[in-house]
């Protein structure tokens, strides 16, 4: 399942991406809010909600949007099992998926055009985690072990 959420800073981009994901990419998407624009909402509320949904199943992914993407991704990464990355380019997003097994993509509602965001999302969804070299799985395992020691 693909989950998407934002705060007020990502609200408009989220609406565009939900339409793109469902109509053009034919993805099943669950919008976790907000459903109306509220300039006083807080990204941690939505980032935590999204992170908890993503970790329910290994095949789940999330897209979190706020003004800069920074705050939302900092918050999402506080959820155990989340490996969130900021998608500032198509290339960095591809590397985050294939080398780091990122399961949440953070996007900026302020610094990305709708077209660039669409291209980043498409690359995120079509890129698989590398299995051709055991070092990538070993690195993810080290992160998991560290989280479990908390």
Q: Find where tokens 């155990």 sit.
A: 80
What pLDDT score was predicted for residue 150?
Answer: 65
What pLDDT score was predicted for residue 37?
Answer: 97
Q: Cα-flanking dihedrals φ and ψ of residue 42, to 5°?
A: -125, 125
Residue 4: strand pairing partners? 31, 63
What pLDDT score was predicted for residue 98?
Answer: 96
What pLDDT score was predicted for residue 147?
Answer: 86
What pLDDT score was predicted for residue 40?
Answer: 97
User: Can you list the residues of the chain whose pLDDT is less than 50?
Assistant: none
What pLDDT score was predicted for residue 138?
Answer: 92
R_g of the chain computed on alpha carbons: 14
Going along the chain from its start, the domains and CATH numbers come out as 2-149 (3.40.1400.10)
**Which among 61, 143, 70 has a CA at the least distance from the CA of 100?**
143
């Amino acid at each position: 399942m693909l989950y998407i959420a934002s705060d007020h800073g990502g609200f408009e981009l989220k609406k565009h991406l939900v339409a793109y994901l469902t109509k053009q990419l034919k993805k099943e998407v669950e919008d976790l809010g907000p459903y109306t624009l509220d300039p006083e909402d807080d990204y941690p509320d939505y980032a935590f909600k999204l992170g908890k949904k993503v970790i329910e199943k290994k095949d789940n992914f999330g897209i979190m949007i706020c003004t800069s993407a920074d705050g939302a991704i900092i918050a999402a990464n506080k959820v155990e099992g989340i490996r969130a990355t900021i998608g500032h380019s198509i290339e960095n997003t591809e590397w985050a998926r294939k080398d780091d097994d990122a399961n949440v993509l953070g996007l900026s509602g302020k610094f990305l055009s709708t077209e660039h965001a669409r291209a980043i999302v498409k690359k995120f969804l079509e890129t698989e985690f590398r299995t051709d070299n055991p070092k990538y799985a070993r690195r993810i395992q080290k992160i998991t072990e560290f989280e479990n020691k908390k």
